[in-house]
Amino acid sequence: PSRTFHGNNRLLTSQIISHYESIIQGKKELPEYFNFASDVLDKWAQLEKDGRKPANPAFWWVNDEGEEVKWSFEQLGSLSRKAANVLSEACGLQRGDRVVAVLPRVPEWWLLNVACMRAGIVLIPGTSQLTAKDISYRLQASKAKCIVTNDTLAPAVESVLPDSQFLKSKLIVSQGSRDGWLNLKELL
- Per residue in 116-147, pLDDT (tens digit) is 999 999 999 999 999 999 999 999 999 999 99
The total domain count for the chain is 1
Assess contact for 109 and 127: CB atoms under 8 A: no
- Considering the domain boundaries, does residue 13 fall inside one? no
Blockwise average pLDDT, block size 10, the chain, 188 residues:
45 61 67 84 90 88 95 94 97 97 95 96 94 95 97 95 93 94 96
Range of the domain at 117: 36-186
- Considering the domain boundaries, does residue 51 fall inside one? yes
- Considering the domain boundaries, does residue 133 fall inside one? yes
Assess contact for 114 and 37: CB atoms under 8 A: yes
Task: Identify the CATH number of the domain in which residue 126 sits.
Answer: 3.40.50.980
- Considering the domain boundaries, does residue 29 fall inside one? no
- Considering the domain boundaries, does residue 170 fall inside one? yes
Which of 35, 103, 41, 101 shows the shortest CA–CA distance to 71?
41
